[in-house]
Amino acid sequence: MADSTPATSTPTMEPDVASEATIPKPFPISHIAGRYLLFDVNVISYARRTHNITGVLIGTIPNLSQQNVFLGIPLELQPEEARVLVEQGHAFIVDDAEVHRKGMMAMSREQRLKLLREMDREGMELAKAESRKAEERSTKALKEKGLTRKEKKSDESNSSAAVEGSETSLFDSKGETPTAVSVSEKKLEPVPITPTTSYPPLTTPSANAASQLPDVPKSYPLFRYLHSKGYFTMPGLRFGCHYSVYPGDTLRFHSHYLATGLDFDEEFELQDVIGGGRLANRVKKAYLIGGEVTSENDKEAEGDEIAPVRTFSIEWAAM
């Protein structure tokens, strides 16, 4: 076991100035049903590129909900990731349900009617597009069967055709032509539209200094320490630890540490350290434990000063 201070190794990436210009600073993090979510692709890439925040994509394809290989937005943040962004002033927490409730109540009747008319217009355009596609498919299917579509006629032509038909013999079969099939036209109804964004019609939420900080587990000091050193972290549940720690972007590097955060004076089983160390070495990593160094005087002291964090790495040299 050795006292370890991980070295900083963060790859440099050129920022996209055009996309960053449209990102509000600080940017909002939606708090929905106990989860911290990002819905904006530009914000997601900015947080990853600039602040070493990876998160986990949890969005599924609507028509293929079981195709979990191709997950998309929103991006779910760990409470620790949301907390460190808020503490550093890069983001703020938005109670999504409350913001939507207040925003909808603040809208005037004219604004609501305008929104409904716009949704009806988009729904009608979508219905017309679907109707055209259905008509094209129907025409193609009729041609393959040697049939033709009966053209729409005026009321006069329909009445004259009815008179001529009455004078024609029932068994007159002269001039065989392809059978005409009439397709009943249905009155188009607007397709129900579910808006994919709330801004507009709602106004973009502003930072609120009184917003609460996300609740975090006792391993947060270790996470904050690793983040300050430029490391990327991912959930470490599959390895039986708190975090998988990467020296750079997770798309470019393998993780170097399996990290577990503890209180500095917390007792732990030696068997857990042995198991974690052996597993980490088995997958070509080091096992890292650490905690915030606190004393009785530090606990009684008031202020925003952050206590130091001490870390230890465990490796099995024979493996």
> Quick one: 19 and 99 in the same domain?
yes
pTM of this prediction? Answer: 0.68
Share the mean pLDDT of the chain.
79
Question: Dihedral (C-alpha) 258, 263, 267, 269: value to the nearest 10 degrees?
Answer: -10
| For residue 200, cis peptide bond before it (omega within 30 degrees of 0) | yes
> Quick one: 139 and 225 in the same domain?
no
Asked whether residue 193 is assigned to any structural domain, the reply reads yes
Report how many domains make up the chain. 3
Q: Which CATH number characterizes residue 58's domain?
A: 3.40.1170.20
> Quick one: 268 and 221 in the same domain?
yes
Res 315 pLDDT > 90: no
pLDDT of residue 110: 85
Task: Choose the catalytic residue: 246, 256, 257, 287.
Answer: 246
> Quick one: 92 and 73 in the same domain?
yes
pLDDT of residue 304: 60
pLDDT of residue 91: 92
Print the domain residue range for 268: 217-319
pLDDT of residue 163: 46
Quote the CA–CA distance of 120 and 47 in Å, as a whole number: 36
| Among candidate residues 191, 177, 111, the one with its CA nearest the CA of residue 148 | 177
> Quick one: 46 and 142 in the same domain?
no
257: amino acid identity, one letter: Y
Asked whether residue 170 is assigned to any structural domain, the reply reads no
Q: Which two tokens stand for residue 189?
A: 């109804």
> Quick one: 56 and 140 in the same domain?
no
- pLDDT tens column, 230-286: 999 999 988 889 999 999 999 899 999 999 999 888 888 888 888 888 888 888 899
Asked whether residue 13 is assigned to any structural domain, the reply reads yes
Give yes or no: 256 in active site. no
> Quick one: 211 and 88 in the same domain?
yes
| Among candidate residues 231, 273, 237, the one with its CA nearest the CA of residue 255 | 231
> Quick one: 66 and 27 in the same domain?
yes
Give yes or no: 143 in active site. no
> Quick one: 64 and 210 in the same domain?
yes
> Quick one: 71 and 211 in the same domain?
yes
- pLDDT tens column, 72-116: 889 999 999 999 999 999 999 988 888 878 877 777 888 888 888
Res 12 pLDDT > 50: no
pLDDT of residue 243: 95
Percentage of the chain modeled with pLDDT above 70:
71
Give yes or no: 246 in active site. yes
> Quick one: 224 and 308 in the same domain?
yes
pLDDT category of residue 229 using cuts at 50, 70 and 90: very high
- pLDDT tens column, 207-225: 765 567 899 999 999 999 9
